Amino acid sequence: MSGRPPLLAYFGHHKCASQWLAAVVRDVCARTGLREVGMSRIEDSPDVSSLAEFVARTRPDFLLYLNADFRQVAGLGPLRGFHVVRDPRDVVVSAYFSHLHSHPLDTWPGLDEHRRRLQAVDRREGLLLEMDFSRRVLEEMDSFRTGRPDVLDVRLEDVVAAPEQRLVEIMAFLGLVRPGQESALDRLAGVASAGASRAQQAAGNLLHRLLRSAHGATRRVPGIDLGEGRPFPPRSHLGALAPLARLRFRRRRLDLPSLRAIVRRHGFSRLADGRQRGAEDPRSHYRKGVPGDWVNHFEPVHVERFKRSYNDVLLRLGYESDADWDLPSSR
Radius of gyration of the chain from Cα atoms?
Answer: 22
Do 102 and 284 touch, CB atoms closer than 8 A? Answer: yes
pLDDT mean across residues, the chain: 79
* Contact partners, residue 206, CB within 8 Å, separation at least 6: none
pLDDT tens digits, residue range 132-148?
A: 999 999 999 988 765 67
What pLDDT, on the 0 to 100 scale, is given for residue 103?
84
Average pLDDT over residues 18-29: 93
Q: Which amino acid is at 198?
A: R
Q: What percent of the chain is predicted at pLDDT more than 70?
A: 69
229 by Cβ neighbours in 10 Å (0-12 / 13-18 / 19+) ranks as exposed
What does the domain layout of the chain look like in residue ranges?
7-316
Indicate the pTM of the whole model. Answer: 0.76
- Predicted confidence (pLDDT) per residue in 73-89, tens digit: 888 889 999 999 999 99
End-to-end CA distance of the chain: 60
**Across 109-113, average pLDDT:** 87
% pLDDT > 90, the chain = 51
In this structure, how many other beta carbons lie within 10 angstroms of the beta carbon of residue 153? 15
Give me the DSSP letters along 45-85.
STT-SSHHHHHHHH--SEEEETT--HHHHTT--SEEEEEEE
pLDDT at 36 exceeding the cut of 70: yes
Given a cut of 50, whether residue 318 has pLDDT beyond it is yes
Q: Please state the CATH superfamily assignment of the domain spanning residues 7-316 in this structure.
A: P-loop containing nucleotide triphosphate hydrolases (3.40.50.300)
